[in-house]
Chains A and B, each alone.
Chain A
Amino acid sequence: MAEVLVYVDHVDGAVRKPTLELLTLARRIGEPVAVALGNGAADTAATLAEHGAVKVLTHDASEYADYLVVPKVDALQAAVAAVSPAAVLVPSSAEGKEIAARLALRIKSGVLTDAVDLEAGDEGPVATQSVFAASFTTKTRVSVGTPVITVKPNSAAVEAAPAAGAVEALNVTFSDQATGTKVTARTPRESTGRPELTEAAIVVSGGRGVNGADNFAIIEALADSLGAAVGASRAAVDAGWYPHTNQVGQTGKSVSPQLYIANGISGAIQHRAGMQTSKTIVAVNKDAEAPIFDLVDYGVVGDLFDVVPQLTEEVNTRKG
């Protein structure tokens, strides 16, 4: 059976959830072979094996942390040469897309970005892309070379599928370009203790209607009652009420949770681009004409300062 390379997104050996989703998709096309790089690479093997990786190719070198993108492209290219895969799957993070694109160019293959689904097809894997702010769905293929495809978080379920997960050392020779862009300092993002925005099953967002940084405590309280991540519209971010890392939309994160709750958000096209594929959408807005209500499964026309705290209290009561 053909092998499918899966690029592993991990932090010091802790595999991030989107990679496990890729393993589910990879098994539809062939046998997943994972590529894990940098500090903690070998520590990823047990988790990857549980989710279907037949092999885990690992390599650690300081270059991965000290220089931008290119060392990882060099390594993935070495893995492609070693395995001759049927496809290469990469998580759709900003960095993942850049790695995928450069790899594709080097191995003379087409690249598809931001797939939301993937199936085997007669002419190679067929990706589903959700485009124009999720108003259209396209089916696309790579027609030249080894398909390189980046896949968005929450595009498939994480499935247990025990496999060997044999660790093998990957031989990597870094290119001249590898050390071109130096990372001179790195400040890890502080953990909020809440789920990762792009991975969360529930996202609770606040917009301009929240009307102040302090008021975001209301949004956070609802999020915490539901075990949700907190999102924000660009209006709220631009006003300095909430960090940009939490922005949902075209120039922020794209989320596709089971439940999205928009509070005081009008529903501009650029915001919808980042949340329209959510399974269930709920909104609280005092303007009955707000475009967000066109998307909702359930909407409350009302003041969020009344509705949201009441909802939070009710959720907490029901949880007991």
Chain B
Amino acid sequence: MSLRIVVTVKYVPDATGDRHFADDLTVDRDDVDGLLSELDEYAVEQALQISENSDDDVEITVLTVGPEDAKDALRKALSMGADKAIHVEDDDLHGTDAIGTSLVLAKAIEKAGFDLVVSGMASTDGTAGIVPALLAERLGVPQVTLLSEVSVEDGVVKGRRDGDTASEQLEASLPAVVSVTDQSGEARYPSFKGIMAAKKKPVEAWDLSDLEIETDEVGLEGAWTAVDSAAERPARTAGTIVKDEGEGGKQLAEFLAGQKFI
């Protein structure tokens, strides 16, 4: 048996950089270094572990929708051990919202062929945490999301979802869409061998016409949401900072009482 896994990975501006918006209120991707969203490393890791624990013939494809530089994210995933990559790139994708992104990803996943999609819990820039659910809806397959533990056996995916009020054990038949959290296990570092091997792994490039998507279905024009303004949050006014000379706790209590918290 074979198992085709597609891992969706997003290329995002570095969270520790000075992230901001461009004039058209989309994310400025020019001034801040980009990288593979750290939370998608967990998705790549779990796909690799599923593969390592499987008797099936597993093929892992990493998929990104993003600008030219998004190739860096694919290279990183390939150097961790994925087999091949697909890069969907098209100038008309600029400004696509979550619904539009899910359309492009779903079409690409269908074109690639899949038994299992593995996504991250959320991107580190948009942070919505909704693309995996949207993919399940579009692909018409079970959604098994936000897993802190995942396993695949005999065409069934199982996992644990730690929710707000309860921890749940989930189960669904393949094909399915899974997303994994940062509790699922540390992602491996690419080895030197992995980095060298990644250079020779195939990266396919698709554009909107390859996916039979009209340009007005995506991009800023095709978005079903609109950003009217983006303003930098005013810096918090500098607070009072005291050094503890033995009375620090009492001074803090005094402040809290003054603010009516006590």
User: Which residues in A have some Cβ–Cβ distance to B below 8 Å?
Assistant: 11, 68-70, 73, 93-95, 97-98, 100-102, 104-106, 108-114, 126, 130-145, 177, 180-189, 202, 226, 244-245, 250-251, 258-259, 269-270, 273, 280-282, 284, 288, 293-303, 306-315, 318-319
Contact = CB atoms under 8 A, between A and B. Distances in A.
Which 5 pairs from chain A and chain B are nearest by CB?
A302-B244, A310-B249, A110-B224, A180-B142, A101-B130
Interface of B: 15-16, 19-21, 25, 39, 97-99, 102, 121-122, 124-125, 127-130, 132-134, 136-138, 140-146, 148, 158, 161-172, 176, 181-183, 223-233, 236, 239-244, 246-253, 255-257, 259, 261-262
B98 A111 contact: yes
A182 B134 contact: no
26 contacts: A68-B143, A68-B170, A94-B129, A105-B134, A110-B225, A126-B228, A130-B233, A136-B20, A136-B233, A138-B25, A140-B225, A140-B226, A140-B228, A142-B224, A144-B224, A180-B176, A181-B171, A184-B170, A258-B261, A293-B241, A300-B241, A302-B243, A307-B249, A310-B249, A312-B249, A315-B256
A318 B239 contact: no
A307 B252 contact: yes
Contact of B233 (A69, A135, A181): A135
B232 A136 contact: yes
Contacts of B256: 226, 259, 282, 315
A314 B241 contact: no
Provide the main secondary structure of the chain B interface: mixed
Nearest to A138: B230
B174 to A, nearest CB: 11
A69 B143 contact: yes
B249 A306 contact: yes
Given A181-B142, A259-B259, A294-B236, A113 B128 contact: yes
B170 A181 contact: yes
A306 B133 contact: no
A280 B163 contact: no
A298 B121 contact: no
A167 B142 CA distance: 32
A300 B248 contact: yes
Nearest to B249: A310
Given A226-B261, A280-B259, A306-B248, 14 more contacts: A69-B145, A70-B143, A98-B132, A98-B145, A110-B225, A114-B127, A136-B21, A139-B230, A181-B170, A226-B262, A295-B239, A298-B241, A310-B250, A314-B250
Contact of A186 (B124, B168, B247): B168
Given A181-B170, A314-B253, A143 B226 contact: yes
B241 A299 contact: yes
A97 B172 CA distance: 21
Nearest to A312: B249
Contact of A143 (B98, B225, B231): B225
Provide the main secondary structure of the chain A interface: mixed
A296 B102 CA distance: 39
Contacts of B102: 105
Contacts of B132: 98
Contacts of A109: 224
B257 A141 contact: no
Contacts of B227: 138-140
A23 B25 CA distance: 30
Contacts of A315: 253, 256, 262
A187 B162 CA distance: 9
Contact of B124 (A94, A250, A314): A250
Given A102-B134, A140-B226, A180 B242 contact: no
B137 to A, nearest CB: 5
A308 B255 contact: no
Contacts of A177: 136-137, 140, 142
A105 B105 CA distance: 14
B249 A313 contact: yes
Contacts of A281: 236, 239
Contacts of B252: 282, 284, 298, 300, 307, 311, 314
B233 A143 contact: no
Nearest to B254: A314
A196 B142 CA distance: 30
A222 to B, nearest CB: 10
